[in-house]
Amino acid sequence: IIFNALRDSPTSNITTWDISFEDLGPEIAKPLAEYITVTGSLTKLDIASNKIGPEGAKEIAKSLLVTGSLTKLDISYNHIGPQGAKAIAEMLSVTGSLTSLDLRRNDIGPQGAKAIAEMLKVNAVLTTLDLSGNKLTNYGKDMTGIYAIADALKGNGVLTTLDLSRNHMGSEASKAIAK
């Protein structure tokens, strides 16, 4: 209800909005996304721990294609999985305002990591990325996502902060990232 009221308000000037840890669920993503598409003032959005899932992440990603004001997004702890990560990565491949993205603890796995890697090859704005605790290596069984990120970082001169902790990378993957 609040998103619809704000969406329809000609005087809404919210720049920073924290609605984290509210357990809003995936059904909240669509009205929130609609609000994001019409507001020109929102620069920071924290929707951590709301269980929006992959479908919710897709809705948020679509809205970010329209808005050019959002610079920081925290979508951590939302169970978005590889499909949600792919939607967010595709959005970041073509939009240029988001400089900080927190995707920690979303179980994006190696497939999500590969999608993020593809985005890192072309995104020239994102400076901070948190991918911690995402099972990027499937507990050391599949290193393809981490190696894809390592390869993408070779050509990315913009990213200054990257958190890959709690992903069971091991020494070989850590060496690949460090190169």
How far is Cα 99 from Cα 168, in angstroms, rounded to an integer?
A: 26
Beta bridge partners of 156: none
How far is Cα 155 from Cα 108, in angstroms, rounded to an integer?
A: 23
This prediction has a pTM of 0.92
Quick check: helix, strand or coil at residue 102?
Answer: strand
Q: Which two tokens stand for residue 119?
A: 């985005």
How far is Cα 93 from Cα 143, in angstroms, rounded to an integer?
A: 23
Kindly state the greatest CA–CA separation across the chain: 54
169 phi/psi in degrees, rounded to 5: -75, -40
pLDDT in tens, 153-177: 999 999 999 999 999 888 877 777 8
pLDDT in tens, 36-61: 888 888 999 999 999 999 999 999 99
Q: What is the structure's pLDDT at 1?
A: 59
pLDDT in tens, 18-39: 999 999 899 989 988 988 888 8
8 Å CB contact between 65 and 36: no
